[in-house]
Structure 1
Amino acid sequence: MSTPTVLVLPSPTQGHVIPMMSLSHKLVEHGCNIIFVNSDFNHERVVTSMENINNNDSSSLYSSPIKLVSIPDGLGPEHDRVNFGELCDSMLSTMPSELEKLIEDMHMKEGIKVTCIVADVYMGWALKVANKLGIKGAFFCPTSASVFVLQYNAPNLVADGILDSDGFPISESEKPLWLSSSIPGMDIESCWWLRLFDPLVEKRMFKYAIHCISHSNLTEWCLCNSTQELEPEAFTLAPKLLTPIGPLLPTTTSSLGQFWKQDMSCMTWLDQQPHCSVVYVAFGSHTLFDQRQFIELALGLELTNRPFLWVVRRDPNCTNYVSLPSEFEGCKGKIIGWAPQKMVLSHPAIACFVSHCGWNSTLEAFCNGVPLMCWPYFGDQFSNKSYVCDGLKVGMGFDSDENGLVSRGEIKAKVDQLISDEDTRSRSQKLMEKLKHSMEEGSTSSKNLSKFVTWLKE
Structure 2
Amino acid sequence: MGIRGAAVSTLPMGVCALMCHVPKLIEEGIIDADGFPTKQQMIKLSPTMPAYNTTHLLWPTVGDRHSQQSIFRFLNECTQATKLADWVLCNSFYEIEPSAFDLVPNILPIGPFLPGTRHGRLEGNFWPEDSTCLSWLDKKPACSVVYIAFGSFTIMDHRQFHELALGLELSNHSFLWVVRPDLTDGSSDAYPDGFEARVAGRGRIIGWSPQQKVLAHPSISCFLTHCGWNSTMEGLINGVPFLCWPYFADQFYNQTYISDIWKVGLQLKPDSSGIISREEMKAKLDELLGDEDIRARSLKLKQTAQENVAEGGSSFKNFNNFIEAIKLKKC
Q: TM-score range by the shorter chain?
A: over 0.9
**1:257 aligned to 2:124?**
yes
Where does 1:356-371 land on structure 2 (aligned, <5 Å)?
A: 356-371=226-241
Quote the residue 1:301 is aligned against. 168
CA separation in 1, counterparts of 2:186 and 2:43?
35
Quote the residue 1:378 is aligned against. 248
Quote the residue 1:340 is aligned against. 210
Quote the residue 1:177 is aligned against. 43
Among 67, 75, 79, the residue aligned to 1:209: 75
CA separation in 1, counterparts of 2:139 and 2:300?
27
* Identical-residue share of aligned pairs (%): 46
Q: Offset at 1:281? A: 0.5
3-state SS, counterpart of residue 283 of structure 2: helix
Q: Offset at 1:171? A: 3.2
Q: TM-score, normalised by structure 1?
A: 0.68
Quote the residue 2:271 is aligned against. 401
3-state SS, counterpart of residue 146 of structure 2: strand
Long gaps (5+) in structure 2: none
Q: Is the 8 A contact 1:399 1:410 kept in 2?
A: yes
**1:248 aligned to 2:113?**
yes
* Alignment RMSD: 1.7
3-state SS, counterpart of residue 193 of structure 1: coil
Q: Is the 8 A contact 1:155 1:210 kept in 2?
A: no
CA separation in 2, counterparts of 1:327 and 1:435?
42
Q: Is the 8 A contact 1:229 1:438 kept in 2?
A: no
**What are the superposed Cα offsets for residues 3-24 of structure 1, whole Å, 9 maximum, x if unpaired?**
xxxxxxxxxxxxxxxxxxxxxx
CA separation in 1, counterparts of 2:163 and 2:104?
43
Among 134, 137, 149, the residue aligned to 1:267: 134
Letter in 2 for 1:325: P
Quote the residue 2:104 is aligned against. 238
3-state SS, counterpart of residue 211 of structure 1: helix
Among 13, 16, 33, the residue aligned to 1:148: 16
**What are the superposed Cα offsets for residues 296-345 of structure 1, whole Å, 9 maximum, x if unpaired?**
11111111111100000125x98633511113122210000100001100
User: More displaced, 204-213 or 190-199?
Assistant: 190-199
CA separation in 1, counterparts of 2:44 and 2:181?
41
**1:228 aligned to 2:87?**
no
Q: Is the 8 A contact 1:177 1:186 kept in 2?
A: yes
Long gaps (5+) in structure 1: 1-132
Quote the residue 2:148 is aligned against. 281
CA separation in 1, counterparts of 2:256 and 2:187?
30
3-state SS, counterpart of residue 147 of structure 2: strand
Answer with 1 or 2: which has the greater Rg: 1
Q: Is the 8 A contact 1:288 1:320 kept in 2?
A: no
Q: 1:380 to 1:172 in 2, by over 3 A?
A: closer
Q: TM-score, normalised by structure 2?
A: 0.93
CA separation in 2, counterparts of 1:179 and 1:414?
31
Quote the residue 2:261 is aligned against. 391
Letter in 2 for 1:199: R
3-state SS, counterpart of residue 373 of structure 1: strand
Q: 1:171 to 1:410 in 2, by over 3 A?
A: closer
Q: Offset at 1:388? A: 0.4
**Structure number with higher relative contact order (C-alpha < 8 Å, ≥ 6 residues apart):** 2
Quote the residue 2:287 is aligned against. 417
**1:189 aligned to 2:59?**
no
Letter in 2 for 1:379: A
**1:439 aligned to 2:309?**
yes
CA separation in 2, counterparts of 1:431 and 1:202?
35
CA separation in 2, counterparts of 1:420 and 1:319?
34
CA separation in 2, counterparts of 1:330 and 1:381?
30
Q: How many residues align?
A: 322
Q: Offset at 1:456? A: 2.0
Q: Offset at 1:349? A: 0.6
**What are the superposed Cα offsets for residues 50-107 of structure 1, whole Å, 9 maximum, x if unpaired?**
xxxxxxxxxxxxxxxxxxxxxxxxxxxxxxxxxxxxxxxxxxxxxxxxxxxxxxxxxx
Quote the residue 1:313 is aligned against. 180
Q: Offset at 1:294? A: 0.8
Letter in 2 for 1:310: W
3-state SS, counterpart of residue 246 of structure 1: coil
